[in-house]
Amino acid sequence: MKMPDFHAIILSVQASRFIGRAVVHFREKIHMSQPALATAANVGLCTLKRLEKGRKRGGSCAILESLCGPLGITVPQLHEYALHLARVEALQLLFVKNFKVAF
C-alpha cells in the first residue's frame, strides 16, 4: 500500500490559503476590476472579494473554474501559482528565522 505524500498534502492545504492572492495576481495582470471579473465569471462580487482577501479559503471548484475562464488560465495554473506563493512565503519565513538566529 502506497503511503500518501504528506509533503504534497501539506503544500496543497497551504496553497488553498493563497488561492485568493493568485486570483488577484492574474486579475491585475489583465487589468480587470473585481466587479468586471465577478460579472464575467457569474460569481457574486462579495464572494470574489472574500476569496481574494482570504476569508473564503480555496473556494469551490465551480467558483474557481468560473473565475479562471475570464482570467484566461486553467484551475491547475491557478493552483500552481498559489503553490508558488506558498513556497515563497515559506522561504521568506525560513530566511527571517535563520537570519534572526544568526545575528
pLDDT higher than threshold 70 for residue 10: no
- CA 96 to CA 42: how far, in whole Å? 41
Using one digit for the tens of pLDDT, what is the confidence trace for 51-60? 999 876 556 8
DSSP character at residue 4: P
* Residue 35 burial (CB count, 10 A): 11
Model pTM? 0.78
Cα dist from 102 to 7, 90, 92, 93, 98, whole Å: 27, 18, 15, 14, 6
Tell me the domains of the chain and their CATH numbers.
12-102 (1.10.260.40)
Using one digit for the tens of pLDDT, what is the confidence trace for 13-35? 556 789 999 999 999 999 999 99
- CA 45 to CA 35: how far, in whole Å? 6
